[in-house]
Amino acid sequence: MSDPDVRKVPLPTLDVRKSALTPGLSAGLLDALDARLAVTDAALDADEAGRARLAARDPEPVHVCYVPADRVTPTTATDWGNEATAAWERFADDPDLPGVLGLTPAALREALPRVATVLADRPVADLRADLEDGYGHRSDAEEDAAATAAGTAVAAMLDGPRAPGRAGPRVKSVERATRRRGLRSWALFVDAFLAADGDPAHLRVTLPKVSAPEQVAAFVEACAAVEARHGIGPVPVELQIETARGAQRVTELIAAAGARCAGLHYGTYDYSAALGIAPDQQRADHPAAEHAKHLMQVAGAAAGVPVCDGSSAVLPVGERDAVLAAWCIQARIVRRALELGIGQGWDMHPAMIPARLAVVIAFHRSGLEPVVHRLAAYRAGTSDGVLDEPATERALVGFLRRGLACGAIDDGEIGVLPEL
């Protein structure tokens, strides 16, 4: 374990302009090079600022739970928690469960009480009332009613027991066919949410099927109009990348959303279908999916915007073998996302939550001791077989912060949380 008194070793700074001139390079030449590279320097400064924002922000919750808007009630978080707990308790002692989740029996035993704690406290960390594919196309009157009811229910849920940390809708896209319908539902949701005394600080919205920065700019303008009507600040927007065009233009999409861009969500099945991938190969860990997510991570890292993975379409329902088979698929996807540096994903059914929690918690438990040891050694200026550097320090600290946030690590296990 780390020494609580270990502190960050400050990096030396050097201003070569105050030192003697470099032999053979005149002051005029050096000034000319500075001028030529000024734009590049500014871009790199912006990238560094984005990385710093991403490292400094609170870790994202481990999942976003998607519920069709017409099924959202004030007790949805509690109901999902109860159903998730029942599914977990049903199979927690199953001798095949460690292998199903890809964990050793010891790792699973260590994770079990922590999974139970999270399920009892906040089983749904983040929730989207889905007015898009999970809801489908209904009559205008029916969707008006669903958007209004969901806004009221989400406001009550956020003020109730086992409340999510945040919630909001996923609206329909701003493509021509659904643009006005999606914007109307968003406005109705906000009206109902605020009328029910919902706290806008916990509100966010997901915009799907984003392909062009002009679409993002249009949605932002509509959001600003809705916000101005109510006198509230900018609502964070998550951009769902699920088209080939969108994957090619992620940097532009983020720029169009500006400071309110809060996340990049990968749409597994729309994206896979757009690329012609066979239905039985459409999965979050397909090479094509990972390529798209790498593009999202590269753009997101530069702008300080986190990436969220998609979901498995195989639900853990039915008899024992069906549930364990679905958990096996989900565990593989979640573990792979963690290996890629993506700590958040979608859950589409309550029984998906405990399997995700077990994998995420075990992942952070297994890395705790070596990460703490490496961080302490680096900050003490020593080396024990691993040559770390400032960028690695940021990754080590980020790992510990995410472990604390998801319930895998306790404060006392790392002494004082290192400052960034």
**Residue 237 within any structural domain of the chain:** yes
Distance of alpha carbon 174 from alpha carbon 241, whole angstroms: 13
Residue type, 383: S
Average of per-residue pLDDT values in the chain = 91
Q: Average pLDDT for residues 164-180, to the nearest whole number?
A: 97
Most confident of 2-11, 13-22, 29-38, 174-183: 174-183
State the total domains in the chain: 1
**Residue 360 within any structural domain of the chain:** no
Q: How confident is the model at residue 178 (pLDDT cuts 50, 70, 90)?
A: very high
Question: Could you tell me the residue range of the domain that residue 147 belongs to?
Answer: 61-80+125-318+333-349
* pLDDT (tens digit per residue) in 256-282: 999 999 999 999 999 999 999 999 999
* pLDDT (tens digit per residue) in 17-72: 545 567 788 888 988 999 999 999 888 887 777 767 766 668 999 999 999 999 99
pLDDT on residue 2? 37
**Residue 411 within any structural domain of the chain:** no
**Residue 12 within any structural domain of the chain:** no
pLDDT on residue 4? 35
Distance of alpha carbon 190 from alpha carbon 188, whole angstroms: 5
Q: How confident is the model at residue 369 (pLDDT cuts 50, 70, 90)?
A: very high
Q: Is the pLDDT of residue 238 over 80?
A: yes
pLDDT on residue 115? 98
**Residue 367 within any structural domain of the chain:** no
**Residue 211 within any structural domain of the chain:** yes
**Residue 394 within any structural domain of the chain:** no
**Residue 43 within any structural domain of the chain:** no
Q: Is the pLDDT of residue 392 over 90?
A: no
Q: What is the CATH number of the domain that holds 240?
A: 3.20.20.60
Give, for 265, the enclosing helix (H) or strand (E): strand 261-266
Residue type, 381: G
Q: Are 190 and 224 in contact (CB under 8 A)?
A: no
pLDDT on residue 391? 83
